[in-house]
Amino acid sequence: MFETLILILDATLRVSTPLILAALAGLFSERSGIVDIGLEGKMLGGAFAAAAAAAVFGSAWIGLLFAIGASVCLALIHGFACITHRGDHIVSGVAINTIVAGLTVTLGLDWFSQGGQTPALTGDARFTPITFPFAEQISDVPVIGLIYSELLSGHNILVYLAFAFVPATYWVVFKTRFGLRLRAVGENPHAVDTAGISVALVRYRAVIICGVLCGIAGAYLSTAHNAGFLKDMSAGKGYMALAALIFGKWRPVPVLCACLLFGFLDAVAVRLQGVSLPGIGEVPVQAIEVLPYVLTVLLLAGFIGKAVGPKAIGKPYVKERA
Amino acid sequence: MNQAKVPAWVSVGLIPLLNILLAFLVSGLVFLAIGEDPIEAAGYLIYGAFGYDEGIGYTLYYATNLIFTGLAVSIAFKAGLFNIGGEGQAYIGGLGVGLLCLWFDSSLPLIVIAPLAIIGGALFGAAWAYIPAYLQARRGSHIVITTIMFNFIASSLMVYLMVNWLKAEGVMSPISRTFEESAWLPYMHDLFSPFGLDIGDSPLNMAFILALLCCVLYWGLVWHTRWGYQLRTVGTNPTAAKYAGIDNAKVTIWVMLISGGFAGLVGVNEIMGVNHNLLLNFTAGYGFAGIAVALMGRNHPVGIILAAMLFGALYQGGAELAFEIPTITPEIVVVIQGLVILFSGALENMFKGKIEGFFLRRAAA
């Protein structure tokens, strides 16, 4: 029983990682007032770029760089449309998701001739698990041994990175001057403008950070969690990250908890497939899969707490002229 | 401010056209990037879509779905709402159509089943849009997010129903039994053949006529009823609407019901017209493509028909293209679709200021 729990939690960490990265990406963007439903597309684009570059150069790190590059480019398109040209944030996000969904397969087929996939990655082209010191030796120690060797040790670097980004995001958003401006731009851009700070510049920076984090999330999907790019491999994770962002009320630590909860549900759903629970019977997998979305809707409806987003979110900022 | 106005042909004609051209230009660059000649590719595309009877039939069949989802997105836009849940509403609408066909196909004639299924599909789609609409109108939750969530919920619900309840006996894949022929919408080629007209076999069916009727309904509703006036007022200026005594929440809920109803009719074309059984993933992204159709069609039924035909042609031509040039996938059409959304939606203001400024200055001079 305890071992099963540890294994589920272990899976939870692995499934939550891309959610955490993408949700934090969304946090930066949305805190600055830019709605981002393009998390999905940026992640998918990043996944493709990472797998393609890793396949060509044989290095997961170069793949990561390309993933970040591709994702930032997409983020800048989003910024160009929403910040510079005051376009609709949702429309722009949908556009990015659509373009990436088509472009990854088109380019993949042209470059690798494998029906839109990238070649299977092996060796250095993937991020491999890191085993903590003494993990082998103490794995027999009751409770702690299993937690240390199974749950904490044996993940790849991007998993640890994702968790490290949570306090880092907290610090940047709530304890730095940039973070103050970021939040101010999302709540009241006029005040920021009056203080002589460029609203557009702050928002562009936020969007770029969003791109970087989505790129890492994408690289995790194709070069760490899987061994190569598959068509539509982000499979709605970007939207789930968006749900987690709202569920966590745009704050880093609650967002982390939401991602872990959603990841846990995912891990449990896989475990419970075809298993009959005592007293309840067989729980349909779909009922668990759908919980993150149902919970988010309930939260948005105000039945469990209240989710209030940044005030100026989704509104283009028009500088007033005398 | 001077009173000079931008000529109508500039704001409805020139600027949208320029945006579309730019989208196609960039699409051409994508073709160049994968080492194909865009002109040659366009040739295959156009031939595949319009060059022969079956091609035209397929183009119009795809266009049917796109008209439904385009109208769905568009009518919500009229009230300033973004219904991104067309995909889920179409899915559940199809469920409604499928259930009615499964229940009545052996007991009722087509003349009764068809209207029943059409109403059923629309009602199921509308019901799926109702909850996000209610939450937006009465509890202030953002409709974009809730409709996205409802797409996923619809998808899980359908998998559950298909696998556990509706799957035909003796098959592995989650598809229902095939309907009796009394629940098949007639194909266009079967309708034309008694008159000696051979238009080639294609999935084009009576649902196309239904789509055109919906365009008329849309036009009448939006521009020729009191409710349509309320709808457009809410969309243009919700505060003014409120002071004029319009119940914004009520308009929001009703427009989403109609929007979901339009989207649900995709099920009539797909389930009753073509597949003749209930299956998974028949919506195939039409809900999202509807956004491109609505944007490109400038939220007018005529524009929506034209845009749906264009995208239908791209779908059909894209399949032909992938057949002729094996190094191209039909997914390239999705890229073009995305670029259209980007340039005629998100970047619609890119040239607007400059061009309008030019004409304003000219008018003032």
Complete DSSP assignment for B21-57: HHHHHHHHHHHHHTT--HHHHHHHHHHHHHSSHHHHH
Q: How close, in Å, is residue A288 to chain B by CA atoms?
A: 10
Q: Is residue A205 part of a domain?
A: yes
Q: Which of B115, B118, B144, B147 minimizes the C-alpha distance to B130?
A: B147
Mutate to test the interface with A, among B18, B37, B341, B356 (most CBs of A within 10 A): B341
Residue B114 to residue B206: CA distance in whole angstroms: 10
Q: How close, in Å, is residue A254 to chain B by CA atoms?
A: 19
SS3 content of chain A, % helix, strand, coil (to 5): 70, 0, 30
Structure tokens at A262: 């959603």
* Interchain pair A82, B346: CB under 8 A: yes
Q: Is residue A243 part of a domain?
A: no
Start-to-end Cα distance in chain A: 70
Pick the residue from chain B with its C-alpha nearest to A107: B34
Chain A hits for B31, CB-CB cut-off 8 Å, are none
* Interchain pair A284, B329: CB under 8 A: no
Chain B hits for A98, CB-CB cut-off 8 Å, are 288, 292, 334-335, 337-338, 341
The per-residue DSSP string of A23-81 comes to HHHHHHHHHTT-----HHHHHHHHHHHHHHHHHHHS-HHHHHHHHHHHHHHHHHHHHII
- Angle (nearest 5°) at CA A239 between A237 and A241: 70
Decide: A225 and A56 in contact? Cβ < 8 Å: no
Q: Is residue A168 part of a domain?
A: yes
* Interchain pair B82, A90: CB under 8 A: yes
Lookup result for tokens 């949702």: A90
Q: Residue B191, CB half-sphere, CA atoms under 13 Å: how many?
A: 13
Looking at per-residue pLDDT, the higher value among A55 and B3 belongs to A55
Looking at per-residue pLDDT, the higher value among B365 and A23 belongs to A23
Q: Is residue A153 part of a domain?
A: yes
Chain B hits for A82, CB-CB cut-off 8 Å, are 346
Q: Is residue A6 part of a domain?
A: yes
Q: How close, in Å, is residue B106 to chain A by CA atoms?
A: 31
Please tell me the total count of domains within chain A: 1
Sequence-distant (≥ 6) Cβ neighbours of residue A168 within 8 angstroms: none
pLDDT tens per residue across span A270-307: 888 777 777 777 778 888 889 999 998 888 887 776 77
Other residues' Cβ atoms within 10 Å of the Cβ of residue A274: 6
Chain B hits for A101, CB-CB cut-off 8 Å, are 331, 334, 338
What's the Cα-to-Cα distance from A17 to each of A48, A97, A145, A261, B200, rounded to whole Å?
18, 21, 23, 12, 52
* Interchain pair B153, A290: CB under 8 A: yes
Bridge partner list, A130: A155
- Give the confidence band of A321 by pLDDT, cuts at 50, 70, 90: low
* Interchain pair B291, A81: CB under 8 A: no
What's the Cα-to-Cα distance from A171 to each of A165, A179, A249, B161, B198, rounded to whole Å?
10, 8, 17, 46, 71
Residue B302 to residue B300: CA distance in whole angstroms: 6
* Interchain pair A301, B141: CB under 8 A: yes
Pick the residue from chain B with its C-alpha nearest to A74: B342
Q: Is residue A143 part of a domain?
A: yes
pLDDT score of A39 more than 90 = yes
Q: Is residue A157 part of a domain?
A: yes
What is the structure's pLDDT at B15? 86
Bridge partner list, A277: A281
Sequence-distant (≥ 6) Cβ neighbours of residue B186 within 8 angstroms: B110, B205, B206
Q: How close, in Å, is residue B140 to chain A by CA atoms?
A: 7
Pick the residue from chain A with its C-alpha nearest to B141: A300
Structure tokens at B40: 């040659």
pLDDT tens per residue across span A124-144: 889 988 888 887 788 777 778
Q: Which of B289, B317, B293, B291 minimizes the C-alpha distance to B305?
A: B293
Chain B hits for A236, CB-CB cut-off 8 Å, are 152
Q: Say what the alpha-carbon torsion angle B216, B219, B220, B226 is, to the nearest 10 degrees.
A: 160
What's the Cα-to-Cα distance from A73 to each of A27, A67, A87, A204, B116, rounded to whole Å?
18, 10, 17, 12, 49
Q: Residue ranges of the domains in chain B? A: 45-351
What is the structure's pLDDT at B141? 82
Question: B298: alpha, beta or left, given left = phi > 0 and alpha = psi -120 to 50?
Answer: left
What is the structure's pLDDT at B1? 44
* Interchain pair A103, B30: CB under 8 A: yes
What's the Cα-to-Cα distance from A292 to each of A22, A134, B152, rounded to whole Å?
16, 37, 10
* Interchain pair A85, B84: CB under 8 A: no
Residue B142 to residue B185: CA distance in whole angstroms: 38
pLDDT score of A22 more than 70 = yes
Residue A101 to residue B337: CA distance in whole angstroms: 11
The per-residue DSSP string of B200-220 comes to ---S-BTHHHHHHHHHHHHHH
Looking at per-residue pLDDT, the higher value among A212 and B52 belongs to A212
DSSP state of A210: H
pLDDT score of A215 more than 90 = yes
Q: How close, in Å, is residue B116 to chain A by CA atoms?
A: 30
Residues of chain B with pLDDT under 50: 1-2
pLDDT tens per residue across span B168-182: 888 888 999 999 988
Pick the residue from chain A with its C-alpha nearest to B294: A91
Mean pLDDT score across all residues of chain A = 90
Mutate to test the interface with A, among B19, B311, B342, B355 (most CBs of A within 10 A): B342
Phi, psi of B211 (to 5 degrees): -60, -40
What is the structure's pLDDT at B212? 97
Q: Is residue A174 part of a domain?
A: yes
Q: How close, in Å, is residue B194 to chain A by CA atoms?
A: 42
* Interchain pair B139, A88: CB under 8 A: no
Q: How close, in Å, is residue A222 to chain B by CA atoms?
A: 20
What is the structure's pLDDT at A52? 96
Mutate to test the interface with B, among A105, A106, A262, A303 (most CBs of B within 10 A): A106
Segments forming the whole domain that contains residue A48? 2-235
What is the structure's pLDDT at A238? 94
CATH code assigned to B45-351: 1.10.3470
Using only C-alpha atoms, what is the Rg of chain A? 20
Decide: A207 and A259 in contact? Cβ < 8 Å: no
Q: Which of B30, B333, B347 sits opposite A85 (nearest CB)?
A: B347
Pick the residue from chain B with its C-alpha nearest to A113: B327
Phi, psi of B299 (to 5 degrees): 55, 35
Q: Which of A95, A242, A302 sits opposite B139 (nearest CB)?
A: A302
Residue A215 to residue A219: CA distance in whole angstroms: 6
Residue B331 to residue B325: CA distance in whole angstroms: 13
